[in-house]
Structure 1
Amino acid sequence: MKKYLLILCFFLLGKAVLFAQTSDDAFKKPLKEVIADVEKQFDVKIRYPEELVAGRMITYAGWRFRAGNLEKTLTNILSSQDLTFAPDGDKRYKIQAFQYHLKTVEEGKQQLEYLASLYSNQVEWEKRKDELKACMLSALHLSPLPAKPASQPIRTPVRKMDGYTVENIAFEVLPGVYINGSLYKPTKIKGKIPVILNPDGHWGGHRFRPDAQIRCAMQARMGAMAVSFDLFAWGESLLQFKPEDHRKSLAQTVQVLSGMRILDYLLSLKEADKNRVAITGGSGGGSQTMMTTAIDDRITLSVPVVMLSSYHSGGCPCESGMGAHLCGGGTNNVEIAAMAAPRPQLVISDGKDWTQNVPKNEFPFLQRVYGFYGKQDMVKNVHLPEEGHDYGLSKRLVLYEFLAQYLGLNINAVKDQNGKIDESKVTIEKESDMYVFGEKGERLPANAIKGYEALQKLIEQK
């Protein structure tokens, strides 16, 4: 009997020890306390929004520490909470929500190496491209495309400038969803002329800012029709949606569809040359440039600016919120840009953002894909190592040269007597002069929907 009691005691004791070893409660601590422990052990300062850490608990907290390895420790702690961290100065870090759109530079390189292993010739690449395109259209809810509204664009009177005209224009891209823009044309039009889309990027002033006006006016003075247009829930789109709606996933669908719908209209004009169609945008507009070119074969030339990166997919859901980058087992903006091959493409990069490694990491990948067609000379990179994240003068100058070369535009029309490109003849208009629907939205059409929920219902009913 004593023997059986002894065995029972050992059995119960074993279960108690096992429970202590596997119970989350034994090593659970509030995240704020764990962060304080990290600061003390590694002699660093870590900042965070209070609402991001309040009430969070870390299981097996002490077991997540790695002696002498701060970043591995933070990764182990924060990954369980869908949080991440970033350097914030000397011996300082900040905690933030998981940045789904970001990888490390090394992870970006590794993904490019993996993607390159999937195809070694044009046939294999074309198969991959077809699969990506079909998946992207599906991810964006653009397969099949929504029915096109029967309405014609809403246009304001034409304003005559030096060598070009400009008018305000609104496109109904979905029933009751309007995207507004500015349409620039040469003063004199003879025969067919190129069409150039200029999607806006994430810079203050929207399409009304001077550099956006200058870029499109110069394209018109060279002999093309050019249109700049608002991001979703930016600019005049705020008459229908709230600013926070811009950072919701369907913004990406509306923005890509906007470019396609605007192109539908422009190519219907008698003066439009369907064989010379370009798109260029910077930052978020660069994301649109790459994605639209990848899925719309009507685009014959593309110029993504300060956006191409293997480790950055766009920091806004309007660029990556619909999961198109998950297609094909995972892709990135470099492979998406490669889908433009063998059409002419100019990549403009700089040294002070996520495009800083383009010459050594991303551009060789593009050259390889263009090489499948024997067209390596059709993709170019202008890298400006001392510059930052903008669509500034030096970037516009190389754009004009590229457009003139491949679209047959008259670059001499924008040069001064010394042979230098001169932007001084462009008129910078007031923002209010560029509105389609009036300063207070008084001319917004009666059928215009209001709010993100209405947009969701519209997409679901497609």
Structure 2
Amino acid sequence: MRISMQYLNTAAYVNRLDERYKPQYEITKLDLNHTDWHSWRTDFRSKLAKLTGLSDMQSQFSAVPLQVRAVSREERSDYTIEKLFVTAEPGVEIPFYLLLPLGKGEGCYPLVLTPHGHGPRGKETYVGHYADEADRAENEAGERDIALQAVKAGYAAIAMDVRGFAEMGRRQEWEQNKGSSCLELQRISLLYGRTLIGERVFDIGRLIDYAATRPEIDTSRIAITGNSGGGTVSLFAAALDERITVCAPSSYFCTFRDSIMAMHHCSCNYIPGILQLGEMYDVAALVAPRPLLLINGKDDMIFPIEAAKEAFSYVHAVYAAQGAADRCRQFVGHEGHRYYKEPVWPFMKQYLSR
């Protein structure tokens, strides 16, 4: 017997959801010139922190001692590199490198945080520790040695493993060469009302707490930049932690509908209920009026450029309404899904200088 099949009309289903769930903080529905931006930011940030699980983590673990553990320190030609661990929450340590310039600048350096994207080597790539020459060639072509770029530009740099990768991943996935533990850790976090994005942002906050203990670092000037998944962490961290003064996410900014929802992405990208609060451009608007550089590749197939440009127009309008239009920029690189360093360091210099 031949069975006739009927399938779900996804487009119609999503349209019905859009009609039912109106984002509470959608900037496209606001009168931008008559919005109380302080109240909008305060309310939205509070609810986003709760939705990601960040606020719960902060209330439970922000007072936990950092318990710094130093592993190594090496002096190279123009910078030092230290490997350290610091406590995030009981039983969880954040492994990271701290890079400090040698013989440059004023002695109290602005800090650049460099969360990495999806790659099995995590922080090692961002400090130029490559598995082999093929790994070096691939990552240097994509300009992913971001912590090295930062320290050579005269900044202190922190390159950390984000949860789910390398030393923040699980042994099971590492032994099976799966590349990351995102799926397994996201499953666990969701069952406890948390998300990997919230956990990664919390870890960024703990690293800022640590940086404040170092006399070499000026924590009144903190930037964050990373590629792909590192762009995700960069954007959400800046949106949720006002101690971050400059934000430059690469190969992430778009809309949830045209990227995260439109095609397969890693499970770590998902925050249950986010579209009831706002779109990705609404999250980005939380950074205003602090300097924000949104970096995209014109041929990035998983974060389509036309949607990214439209989303940027909404964010830029919010900056303009707050008298800070010049602080919000978009750079479109000539290739696809990769880091583009060309606009980053001039932007950092402009806004991290005293």
With the length of structure 1 as denominator, give the TM-score of the two structures: 0.60
- Residues 88-123 of structure 1 deviation map (CA, whole Å, 9 limit, x = unaligned): xxxxxxxxxx9x9xx9xx99xx98996411342263
1:290-329 paired onto structure 2 within 5 Å: 290-310=235-255, 311=257, 312-313=259-260, 315-321=265-271, 323=272, 325-326=274-275, 329=276
The equivalent of 1:50 in structure 2 is: none
The equivalent of 2:50 in structure 1 is: 138
How far off its partner does 1:254 sit? 1.9
**1:389 maps to 2:337:** yes
| Partners of 1:201 and 1:284 within 8 A in 2 | yes
1:151-230 paired onto structure 2 within 5 Å: 151-188=66-103, 190-209=106-125, 210=128, 211=139, 214-230=145-161
Structure 2 CA distance, aligned partners of 1:117 and 1:302? 25
| Partners of 1:164 and 1:220 within 8 A in 2 | yes
How far off its partner does 1:168 sit? 1.3
Structure 2 CA distance, aligned partners of 1:153 and 1:195? 18
1:67-86 paired onto structure 2 within 5 Å: 74-76=7-9
Query: In 2 relative to 1, CA 335–281 (structure 1 residues): closer, same or farther, beyond 3 Å?
Result: same
Query: In 2 relative to 1, CA 202–359 (structure 1 residues): closer, same or farther, beyond 3 Å?
Result: closer
| Partners of 1:289 and 1:303 within 8 A in 2 | yes
RMSD (Å) for aligned C-alpha atoms: 3.1
Structure 2 CA distance, aligned partners of 1:276 and 1:122? 30
- Residues 121-167 of structure 1 deviation map (CA, whole Å, 9 limit, x = unaligned): 26334332222111111122332512232142222221112211112
How far off its partner does 1:247 sit? 4.0
The equivalent of 2:294 in structure 1 is: 347
| Partners of 2:25 and 2:282 within 8 A in 1 | no
1:56-75 paired onto structure 2 within 5 Å: 61=5, 64=6, 74-75=7-8
RCO higher in structure (CA 8 A, sep ≥6)? 2
Q: 1:194 is paired with a residue of what secondary structure?
A: strand
Unaligned regions of 5+ residues in structure 2, if any? 129-138, 174-180
- Number of aligned residue pairs: give it: 309
| Partners of 2:25 and 2:278 within 8 A in 1 | no
| Partners of 1:200 and 1:207 within 8 A in 2 | yes
Query: In 2 relative to 1, CA 150–181 (structure 1 residues): closer, same or farther, beyond 3 Å?
Result: same
Structure 2 CA distance, aligned partners of 1:402 and 1:324? 34
| Partners of 1:234 and 1:246 within 8 A in 2 | no
Query: In 2 relative to 1, CA 377–360 (structure 1 residues): closer, same or farther, beyond 3 Å?
Result: same
The equivalent of 2:177 in structure 1 is: none
How far off its partner does 1:271 sit? 2.3
Query: In 2 relative to 1, CA 300–403 (structure 1 residues): closer, same or farther, beyond 3 Å?
Result: same
Query: In 2 relative to 1, CA 396–361 (structure 1 residues): closer, same or farther, beyond 3 Å?
Result: same
What amino acid sits opposite 1:173 in the alignment? A
Whichever of the two has the greater Rg, that structure is 1
Structure 1 CA distance, aligned partners of 2:311 and 2:270? 19
Structure 2 CA distance, aligned partners of 1:119 and 1:232? 39
How far off its partner does 1:399 sit? 1.3
Structure 1 CA distance, aligned partners of 2:281 and 2:27? 10
Unaligned regions of 5+ residues in structure 1, if any? 1-28, 35-60, 65-73, 85-97, 410-462
- Residues 250-280 of structure 1 deviation map (CA, whole Å, 9 limit, x = unaligned): 3223211111111111122222212211111
Selected match of 1:123 from 35, 42, 49 = 35
| Partners of 2:95 and 2:160 within 8 A in 1 | yes
The equivalent of 2:277 in structure 1 is: 330
Q: 2:32 is paired with a residue of what secondary structure?
A: coil
- Residues 191-231 of structure 1 deviation map (CA, whole Å, 9 limit, x = unaligned): 42101111111134322224487321221122211111112
| Partners of 1:207 and 1:213 within 8 A in 2 | no
The equivalent of 1:356 in structure 2 is: 305
Q: % of aligned pairs identical?
A: 24
